[in-house]
Amino acid sequence: MSLIELPDGRMILPDNRWDLVENSPGTPLVSVVIPYYNQQRQLNLVLEALTAQTYPQDRIEVVIADDGSAQPPDLAEWTTRLSVSVVSQEDRGFRAAAARNLGASTSKGSILCFLDADTVPGPDYIRRAVRLPTVAPDTVVVGRRKHADLSRVDAGSVSKWLTDNAHTGQAHAHEPQWLVDGYKRTRNLLTPGWDGYKYMLSAVMTCSRSLFDDVGGFDESFVQYGGEDWEFANRAFMMGAVFAHEGAALAWHDGPDWGARSVPDRLSEKNIEALALAPLVTDPAARSAGLRYRIPDVAVLIDTGDHSAVSLLQTVSGALRCADSAVWLTGPRSDVLLREMGIHDSRVLIGAPDSAVLSRCRFVVDIRGRVTFSTDSIARLAAEVTPGEAGQVNVGFDTGVSASVSLWSSRALHRSRRWSEETGRCREELIETLFGVRHVDSGSVGIVVAEEDPLLSW
């Protein structure tokens, strides 16, 4: 694996190797997008803190995305010191995801810096947060969010308060332990695993506009508190994002973490969030009930060209038995063979997976030939393309056998797609360069090819 340097100084990183970035050329226009709802006092602190950033003021614009407040935010005190504007949407419940999308869509910066209206950035926050996305556009950076009672701090004293508390920046006091542990375990998300999305907070999240647009922004179906940042982060990772935690980008949340707040029905709220996430996040931890959803963890494409209905039944059943998967049949006779099989299984479809599936599933498998699987074949192949391993694994068969099986991580497919046109390199070359390609023998993963139709009689 190796990085690819672009003529303008930007780079395409291999796998999740944000540690390869040494510099950040230039000072691009940064759009700070702040969702807001009736939080004037807290917003005052955030705006005042934004006037004191070490990043050049003429390269910062602030967009307040008002989620239908009774009164629009009063910005009179800051219009001469900040480039600040307001966009609004109707009050139709908690729609922070839609508000962030609205703010991003009306902003102009090439870097999007999302801050919440109750989260006050330290003086160095923007400079630190934008460093990686500026030079490596695939990067999503999560800053460091600490908690404090700012109820007695006003706009006139917030800068002094930040200075007085700057010495706490390296300590982990006022910081949720689960985040501290997560960043330590993943080496600041350098080795994020599949669950790194859980440590990405939209209150302190920064990314390039190009990545945000390609990912599709936040999912506006989230209309309750919580979950939209995990869904966005997980989808971004599946679509080839690089995760990084920048501990020096420090911001202070006014009030305790959710876990320390007085929540009337904590169990119910967390269950509502889990129910909203499970159909969209294919992490096995989110789907422990063993049920199936429209979006599978593994999207399996089967070319039906060499199949009879009987052999196809065997290949399809093996692919579905192996994993949280769904099968798409391709080829001119797919509909005929599906009818002949006589099955009625919503996991078996004709054509190709849609964008909702391909942007969220972890793996894509392509199968050609009369292939049969053992119960853990796909799991063995998937283990070859976990983060930090490879992006593609090809199965090798004996000479003369007419079959092929390849499995990709979705993140490798999407990152190579995103950069193919600009680099003039094909998908295969980019996957090899950025993630690596592995080869395994069919027998080592329990895959065989059936020369004849199996006997179905009983």
The pLDDT score that the predictor gives to residue 22 is 86
**What is the residue range of 387's domain?**
298-449
381 and 426 belong to one structural domain: yes
Q: Is residue 457 part of a domain?
A: no
pLDDT band at 263 (very low <50, low <70, confident <90, very high): low
Q: Which amino acid is at 25?
A: P
Tell me the CATH number at 14.
Answer: 3.90.550.10
The pLDDT score that the predictor gives to residue 456 is 83
Which backbone phi and psi does 318 adopt, to 5 degrees? -65, -40
pLDDT band at 258 (very low <50, low <70, confident <90, very high): low
| CA dist., res. 247 & res. 426, Å (int) | 36
The pLDDT score that the predictor gives to residue 399 is 79
Q: Is residue 458 part of a domain?
A: no
Give mean pLDDT, residues 267-284.
89
Checking if the pLDDT of 301 tops 90, the result is: yes
Q: Is residue 455 part of a domain?
A: no
Verdict on whether the full-model pTM lies above 0.85 = yes
Q: Which amino acid is at 349?
A: L
Burial bucket for residue 404 (CB in 10 Å: 0-12, 13-18, 19+): middle
Which backbone phi and psi does 446 adopt, to 5 degrees? 70, 35
316 and 265 belong to one structural domain: no
The pLDDT score that the predictor gives to residue 261 is 61
What's the domain count of the chain? 2
Reduce the DSSP state of residue 190 to 3 states and report it: coil
Return the higher-pLDDT residue of 1 and 208: 208
Instruction: Tell me the per-residue pLDDT of 414-447, one tens digit each, with 9 for 90 and over.
Output: 999 999 999 999 999 999 999 999 999 999 999 9
Q: Is residue 268 part of a domain?
A: yes
pLDDT band at 171 (very low <50, low <70, confident <90, very high): low
Instruction: Tell me the per-residue pLDDT of 360-407, one tens digit each, with 9 for 90 and over.
Output: 999 999 999 999 999 999 999 999 999 999 999 999 998 778 899 999
Checking if the pLDDT of 45 tops 90, the result is: yes
439 and 399 belong to one structural domain: yes
In the predicted model, what is the mean pLDDT of the chain?
93
204 and 86 belong to one structural domain: yes
CA distances from 257 to 148, 179, 225, 379 (A): 9, 11, 13, 37
140 and 39 belong to one structural domain: yes
Q: Please, what is the angle between helix 309-322 and helix 334-341, to 10°?
A: 80
Q: Is residue 293 part of a domain?
A: no
Beta carbons of 207 and 257 less than 8 angstroms apart: no
pLDDT band at 211 (very low <50, low <70, confident <90, very high): very high
Domain boundary among 286, 311, 336: 286
In this structure, of 230-244, 256-270, 334-348, the range with the lowest mean pLDDT score is: 256-270
pLDDT band at 259 (very low <50, low <70, confident <90, very high): low
346 and 201 belong to one structural domain: no
Full DSSP string of 418-449 = HHHHHHT--HHHHHHHHT-EEEEEGGGGTEEE
Interior angle at CA 371, CA 366 and CA 373, nearest 5: 95
pLDDT band at 452 (very low <50, low <70, confident <90, very high): confident
Beta carbons of 28 and 134 less than 8 angstroms apart: yes
204 and 313 belong to one structural domain: no
Domain boundary among 244, 263, 286: 286
Instruction: Tell me the per-residue pLDDT of 307-323, one tens digit each, with 9 for 90 and over.
Output: 999 999 999 999 999 88
Please report which helix (H) or strand (E) contains residue 47, including its range.
helix 40-50
Range list of H helices, 305-366: 309-322, 334-341, 355-358
Checking if the pLDDT of 278 tops 80, the result is: yes
As given in the structure block, the two tokens for residue 97 are 């995801």
pLDDT band at 1 (very low <50, low <70, confident <90, very high): confident
210 and 152 belong to one structural domain: yes
| CA dist., res. 84 & res. 47, Å (int) | 9
Beta carbons of 239 and 409 less than 8 angstroms apart: no
The pLDDT score that the predictor gives to residue 169 is 60
What single DSSP character describes residue 137?
Answer: T
The pLDDT score that the predictor gives to residue 162 is 92
Domain boundary among 286, 321, 354: 286
The pLDDT score that the predictor gives to residue 322 is 81
| CA dist., res. 219 & res. 120, Å (int) | 25
Give mean pLDDT, residues 271-287.
92
Give me the residue label for tokens 């190709």: 352
Give the number of C-alpha atoms closer than 13 A to the C-alpha of residue 71, restricted to the C-beta side. Answer: 6
Beta carbons of 230 and 203 less than 8 angstroms apart: no
| CA dist., res. 98 & res. 104, Å (int) | 10
Interior angle at CA 438, CA 431 and CA 324, nearest 5: 85
Nearest to 410 by CA among 236, 219, 291, 287: 236
| CA dist., res. 194 & res. 178, Å (int) | 17
